[in-house]
Structure 1
Amino acid sequence: MWPIWGLSTSWGTVLWVEVGAWTYHYSDQGDYTWEQARNYCQTFFTDLVAIQNQQEIEYLNRSLPYHKHYYWIGIRKLGGTWTWVGTRKALTKEAENWALGEPNNRRSNQDCVEIYIQRPQQAGKWNDEPCSRKKKALCYQASCQPSLCSQRGECLETIGSYRCQCYPGFQGPECTDAITCPVLRAPEQGELNCSHLHGNFTFGSTCAFSCQAGFVLMGPESRECTFPGSPLKCFSVPAAITCPVLRAPVQGELNCSHLHGNFTFGSTCAFSCQAGFVLMGQESRESTGTWTGDTPHCKGKSCGLTRLGGPCCSRVLSPAPWAVTLSPGLSVYPLGCQFIPWLASPHLPIPLPSVLSS
C-alpha cells in the first residue's frame, strides 16, 4: 500500500496517495456532484484523474479506501462522445474499461463516470452515472510541467515517472535532439545554400540548389529535412545546356572539343576548307547556351585572284565519288571543282581536263 498523507483545508481534510512522480488526492469529508468534484480538483490540484493504463487502475484499486458511493473520474459525455475532460481527447476503444453491461445510460441522463474502488465485483471498472449524484472526488497532481520535454514533445504521466512523447523530428528522453539527415553536397557544376534551424543538416534544415551559368537544374530546387522515413536526398543533377549539332561545311572540315559533353555548354568547333577553297565566315564557334556567330561555308578560290603556285577552281562542279590526279608535283583533289594549276611564271592559266568520265 502506498503511503497516505493528510492536509486540512476549508473543504475538509485532503488525503493523498503518492504514486511515483505524481500524487492522487481525495477528501475524507463530504461527497460532490461531478461538477463540484472537478472544481475541487482544479482548485487544489490539476484535475479529476485521467486513467492512463490498466497498471494505473490496479494501483488505485489497491491504494485507495473503499467508499460506498465510489469515486468520480475525469470522463464525461460531450456531444455524444465519451471524452477525457483534461485533454479534450475522445476515449478510444483501446482505453475503455467499462463494467459488464456498461455504459447503459439508464434514464438517458448518465453522462459522467465513476470508478469502482475496492468493490467486491468488477473492482476498478467504470460505470456511467448521472452527474448530479454525489461521490468522492478522485484528483491527481501532475508531475508534467511546461518546461519538460524541451517544448518539443508531449509530457505523459506514467506510474513512477513521466515520459516525453516527442514531436516528429525530435528524439531523446527529453526530446532535445533533432533528428539528423544525410549531409548534402553541391551537385557538379552547381551550388548549395542551406539554412539550419536546430543544427547542421537536422530536422527543419532546408537546402536550395542552383547551377552555374550554362547549366539547368534537373529536379527540385530545394529539399527539407523532415522525419524518419523521408530522409533528405539530393536528386538534383545539372544537365549541360545542349546546342544543335554542327556539321562540316561542303568541301570543308569540322574539328570540335567538348568540355561537358557533345555539343553542350563550353563546346568549341573550328572550321576549315579543303585545298582550293576558302572559308567564308568565322573560323570557330562556341556554345554559350547558343552557338556564337553564323555557320560558315567554303567557296572555291577565284583563278583571277589566286597567288602563284597555288591551285585554283575555275568552275565548281557537283561532288563526285572519285578523284583526279593533276600534273606531276600537284596533289590529288576531290572532284567537284575544275582545277587549273598556276605555273611559276605569270602566264595565263592552262585549263586541265575537267572531269574523268566512267
Structure 2
Amino acid sequence: MLGRGWHHCLGLCCLLCSVGAWTYHYSDKGDYMWEQARNYCQTFFTDMVAIQNQEEIQYLNRSLPYHKSYYWIGLRKLDGVWTWVGTRKALTKEAENWAQGEPNNRRSNQDCVEIYIRRPQQAGKWNDEPCTRRKKALCYLASCQPFSCSQRGECVETIGSYRCECYPGFHGPECEHVVQCAKLEPQGVSMYCSHPYGDFSYNSTCEFGCHEGFERRGAAVLRCLPSQEWSANTPTCTAITCPVLSAPAQGEMHCSHLHGEFTFGSTCAFSCQKGFALVGLQSRESTGSWTGNTPHCEGRVLSMGCSLEDPLDPVVSTV
C-alpha cells in the first residue's frame, strides 16, 4: 500500500510511498535542464518517470506539489520519434496524453516533455518543451530487483508494488512453482533424464534407447511442456523381425520363439526325412539377422552287394 502523503525529504529530494515499493522522487531544491534531470535520476534512483497509464497520471497529479515550472518526465523525441528513454520504446498512439494543441514543436526545438502537475487547466497533461528549460526532475526507484519473480518471469512495476508475469512453465506470485508432468516409467526401454527444475517438471528431457536386438517405436526424446504434457507418447521397444524361414525340401524345421515368431532370439533347427542327408547348418539363430545360410537335403547313394556262383572246378560231361 502507498502512503497518503510525502513522508520525508532526503537532502535535495523528496519521496512518496512506503518502503520497498515503487517510489516517486523529485528534486526538492534544484531545477534542471532535461539532460541534467535524467542524470540526477539515474545517479540517485532508477531513471526518469515513464508514464504507464491514466491511473499513474492521476496519482502523480494528486500527490506531487505544484511547481510553476512543472516536471520533466522520461519522454523525448529521438530521430523524430517520441520515445520512453528508460525502455527505448516508442510512445504508442493509445498512450498519448498531450495537452490540447500539443505537441506543437514551437521554434522547432521542443524535443523534451513536461507534465502539468496541479495546473488549473489540463492538469496531468503533457507539453513539449525545449530541453534547455529548467524544471523539477521527476524520478522513480524501481521495486523490481534482479532476483524478483525468482528470475522465472518478467517483473512489472506497478504503483506501490510490482507483479510477476511468469515465463511459460512457471506459476505462483513470485513464479516460484514449476509445472509438473506425469512421471515416466517405461517398460523394457532404457531411459536417461535431465531435470533442470526438479524430477519430471517443466523442461525435463528424457532420452530413450533399446537393448541389442530391439528397435524403438516412437520419439527418441521427450520434453515436459508448459501444458503439463509430454511432447510425445512414451516410445516402446520391439524385437527386430527377421524373414520367415521355411523347412528345406524333403526336410523338417522346428523353431522356438523368445520374443515372437521369427524375431530376435528365435532359433530354428533343421532335419531331413529318411533317405536324405542334411547339407549345411543344423540350426540358425536370429541375432537381428539370421546366422548362416538355409541348409538343404540331398538323397543318399546306397551301395548294393551281389552274390555270384563261381565254381572252382569245371563241369565235365561224359557220354
The TM-score, its normalising length taken from structure 2, stands at 0.82
Alignment CA distance shift 1:282-1:163 (3 Å): same
Q: Once superposed, what is the RMSD of the aligned Cα atoms?
A: 2.9
Alignment correspondent of 2:9: 7
Alignment CA distance shift 1:120-1:298 (3 Å): farther
Aligned positions of 1:109-188 closer than 5 A: 109-186=109-186, 188=187
Alignment CA distance shift 1:111-1:184 (3 Å): farther
How far 1:229 moved relative to its partner? 7.9
Letter in 2 for 1:255: H
In the TM superposition, what whole-angstrom CA distance separates every residue of 1:144-187 from its partner, at most 9, and x where no partner exists? 2223222222322212321122233322211222222332233x
Alignment CA distance shift 1:92-1:303 (3 Å): farther
Answer whether contact 2:112 2:129 (CA < 8 A) is retained.
yes
In the TM superposition, what whole-angstrom CA distance separates every residue of 1:213-241 from its partner, at most 9, and x where no partner exists? 11233444323335338744345333432
Q: Measure the CA separation in 2 of the matches of 1:247 and 1:236.
A: 33
Alignment CA distance shift 1:142-1:191 (3 Å): same
How far 1:92 moved relative to its partner? 4.1
In the TM superposition, what whole-angstrom CA distance separates every residue of 1:235-285 from its partner, at most 9, and x where no partner exists? 533343222222221122333343334322122223233344333222321
Q: Measure the CA separation in 2 of the matches of 1:253 and 1:7.
A: 105
Answer whether contact 1:73 1:138 (CA < 8 A) is retained.
yes
Alignment CA distance shift 1:191-1:95 (3 Å): farther
Q: Measure the CA separation in 1 of the matches of 2:94 and 2:227.
A: 27
Moved more, 107-116 or 193-202: 107-116
| 3-state secondary structure, aligned to 1:292 | coil
Letter in 2 for 1:166: C
| 3-state secondary structure, aligned to 2:40 | helix
Alignment correspondent of 1:338: none
Q: Measure the CA separation in 2 of the matches of 1:83 and 1:226.
A: 37
Q: Measure the CA separation in 2 of the matches of 1:106 and 1:261.
A: 89
| 3-state secondary structure, aligned to 1:162 | strand
In the TM superposition, what whole-angstrom CA distance separates every residue of 1:102-160 from its partner, at most 9, and x where no partner exists? 44444443332222323344432333333222222111122222232222223222123
Answer whether contact 1:182 1:232 (CA < 8 A) is retained.
no
| 3-state secondary structure, aligned to 2:17 | strand
Q: Does 1:300 align with 2:299?
A: yes
Aligned residues with identical type, % of pairs: 66
Alignment CA distance shift 1:191-1:69 (3 Å): same
Aligned positions of 1:1-358 closer than 5 A: 2-7=4-9, 9=11, 11=12, 14-18=13-17, 21-186=21-186, 188-228=187-227, 231-304=230-303
Q: List runs of 5+ in structure 1 lacking aligned partners.
A: 306-345, 349-358
Answer whether contact 1:41 1:139 (CA < 8 A) is retained.
yes
| 3-state secondary structure, aligned to 1:72 | strand
| 3-state secondary structure, aligned to 2:62 | helix
In the TM superposition, what whole-angstrom CA distance separates every residue of 1:49-73 from its partner, at most 9, and x where no partner exists? 1223322222112222333332211
Higher relative contact order (CA 8 A, sep 6+): 2
| 3-state secondary structure, aligned to 1:42 | helix
**How many residue pairs end up in the alignment?**
304
Alignment CA distance shift 1:41-1:276 (3 Å): same
Q: List runs of 5+ in structure 2 lacking aligned partners.
A: 308-319
Alignment CA distance shift 1:298-1:56 (3 Å): same
Answer whether contact 2:181 2:228 (CA < 8 A) is retained.
no
Answer whether contact 2:181 2:224 (CA < 8 A) is retained.
yes
Alignment CA distance shift 1:185-1:93 (3 Å): farther
Q: Measure the CA separation in 1 of the matches of 2:24 and 2:297.
A: 100
Moved more, 45-54 or 288-297: 45-54
